[in-house]
């Protein structure tokens, strides 16, 4: 069950391209430091700049979330709420992916895996909502 590494690699090769960028060492060093300090992936900043330049709608850059503290009940509840938000976002993204699978592939392992993921994420979301509502 699942997609093989070779199949994933093939899909990436068919749907993505790489761009090589040369810049001064000082600029690269500063860029890396700023991205690290802001906890934002460098690729995300570059992709957003490309999209803005091309006049495309750009998503808001989100920093990489840090692991929340869980030493008090209040902090644990906040951490669970954050985890729930991520699970719901993942469920919604997986559901959108599922809906985008062409009809002729709806008996494929890809489709079944997406259905399983949506169901598992929904179950996890409901369990967390029930425990911490």
pLDDT in tens, 105-129: 888 888 888 899 999 999 999 998 8
Q: In terms of residue numbers, what domain contains 69?
A: 65-133
Same domain, 56 and 76: no
- Name the token pair of 27: 């600029």
Same domain, 83 and 114: yes
* pLDDT at residue 15, as a whole number: 85
% of the chain beyond a pLDDT of 90: 17
State whether the Cα torsion 33-28-24-52 is positive or negative. negative
* pLDDT at residue 81, as a whole number: 87
Q: What is the pLDDT of residues 16-53, one digit of tens each?
A: 888 888 999 999 999 999 988 888 888 888 988 998 89
Same domain, 72 and 105: yes
E runs forming strands in the chain: none
Work out how many domains the chain is built from and give that number: 2
- The C-alpha atoms of residue 33 and residue 40 are separated, in whole angstroms, by 10
- CB-based contact 118:98 (threshold 8 Å): yes
> Mean pLDDT in the chain?
85
* pLDDT at residue 3, as a whole number: 62
């Amino acid at each position: 069950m699942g997609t093989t590494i070779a199949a994933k690699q093939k899909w990436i090769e068919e749907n993505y391209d790489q761009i090589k960028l040369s810049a001064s060492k000082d600029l690269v060093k500063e860029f890396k430091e700023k991205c690290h300090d802001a906890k934002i992936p460098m690729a995300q900043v570059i992709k957003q700049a490309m999209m803005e330049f091309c006049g495309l709608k750009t998503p808001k850059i989100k920093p990489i979330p840090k692991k929340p503290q869980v030493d008090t009940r209040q902090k644990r509840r906040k951490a669970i709420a954050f985890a729930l938000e991520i699970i719901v976002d993942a469920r919604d993204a997986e559901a959108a992916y599922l809906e985008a699978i062409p009809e002729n592939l709806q008996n494929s392992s890809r489709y079944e895996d997406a259905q399983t993921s949506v169901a598992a994420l929904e179950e996890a979301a409901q369990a967390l909502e029930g425990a911490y509502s």
